[in-house]
Amino acid sequence: MLFADSGLSDASISVLLAVWSLTAVVFEVPSGAIADRFSRRSCLVASGLLHAAAYASWVLFPSFWGFAAGFVLWGLGGTLTSGAFEALLYDGLAVNGDAELYGRLNARVDTITLVAQVPVAVLATFLFSVGGYDLAGWVSVAMCLVSSVIALRFPEPPRGSSEDHAGYLDTLRTGLREAVPIKRAVLAVALVYAIDAFEEYFTLLVQDWHVPTVWVPLATTGVPLLGAAGAALGGRLRFRGWVLFASGLVLIAAAVLAVPAAIVLLGLFYGLYRFVLVQVETELQHRIESEARATVTSVAAIGSEFVAFAIYGLWVLGAAFAVGVLVLVVALVIWRR
């Protein structure tokens, strides 16, 4: 819905998304170290405030530069969440001796997040039809502020006394050093998570498949539901490479059909993809041993941003078909038996 009525070209939209990714590339790892050195909960609170400012920028300045400023703010907010949330969740379980439950709980969080997109889509359709883009935008600002208030109530377990004396640069170096021996897990998360950048184009894709703008949110409600189903099943199959490969084939089939009915295939692609994403994220968290957990996770995230640039370029060159081919390549790289 953000781009649906913006009047921007596909090339301009890709440039804006690249600005978002570039912001993440610059601040991803430093923000992870901030979460490890200081407070992960505070990072989540600040993230909500920055996201609220981003929406305000998009509403107040609906031009290329207004969108660009908003994406810088959105990128900064995203870097504060990335790594910090996973570390807060994992350490909260580990302090009670329940670290093995992380995969199940992480899948549940992903499932709830995706299912929540359905009522949000219904509300967005209502707000857009009643008050247009401005009303939908200001309600989004309010919701981001509410998320910061909720984050204030998250419990944050105490960490080791050695970290109390570690400086910011020491924390940063610790996280970067640990990412090296577990580089295969880091690479898997980087490659797979990057594919999620394609979600930003779902509304444009559905519009290209001849769905009226006002009905786009409702027409795509099944996509996050199938994504939620995939996330909920994450970790139950032995091999993940062939699942991701299958999702690429499904996306290519949807791109070839290019009709409203292909939204079903788009949802199936997203469900298979989410299944794999939960698996690789869980494996990475289990392999991190130091207290610089958010920093290591951010290293994987920054890798995903570089791959996301390819997603943006492929959208301009070949839309969904080209992205489907990239998914096949990623699946072959991470395929393990």
| DSSP letter (8 states) at residue 290 | S
For residue 223, give its domain range: 10-334
**What pLDDT is recorded for position 162?**
44
> Is residue 326 assigned to a domain?
yes
Number of domains in the chain: 1
H helix or E strand, kind and range, residue 305: helix 293-334
Q: Count CA within 13 A, CB hemisphere, residue 279.
A: 24
CATH number reported for the structural domain that contains residue 260 in this entry: 1.20.1250.20
Does residue 4 sit within a domain?
A: no
**7 backbone φψ class: left, alpha, beta (φ>0; ψ -120 to 50):** left
Q: What is the DSSP letter of 82?
A: T
User: In the predicted model, is pLDDT for residue 310 greater than 70?
Assistant: yes
Listed in sequence order, the residues at least 6 apart from 9 whose beta carbon sits closer than 8 Å to its beta carbon are: none
pLDDT of residue 161: 46
Residue 2 domain flag: no
What DSSP designation does 2 have?
T
pLDDT at 37: 85
Considering only CA atoms, which of 254, 239, 236 is closest in space to residue 198? 254
Residues 168-184 pLDDT 10s: 777 778 777 877 778 88
> Which residue reads 């502020």 in tokens?
145
Which one, of 198, 313, 187, lies nearest residue 206 by Cα? 198
Q: Is the dihedral of CA 57, 59, 65, 67 positive or negative?
A: positive
Residue that wins the pLDDT comparison between 277 and 17: 277
Q: Answer with the residue of higher pLDDT: 239 or 20.
A: 20
Q: Is residue 293 part of a domain?
A: yes
In a domain, 1, yes or no: no
Residue 249 inside a domain? The answer is yes
What whole-number distance in Å separates Cα of residue 220 and Cα of residue 45?
A: 30
Please determine, for residue 3, whether its predicted confidence score (pLDDT) is greater than 60.
Answer: no
Indicate whether 144 belongs to any domain.
yes
In a domain, 219, yes or no: yes
pLDDT tens column, 184-227:
888 888 899 889 888 878 888 888 888 887 777 778 888 989 99
d(CA 252, CA 246): 10
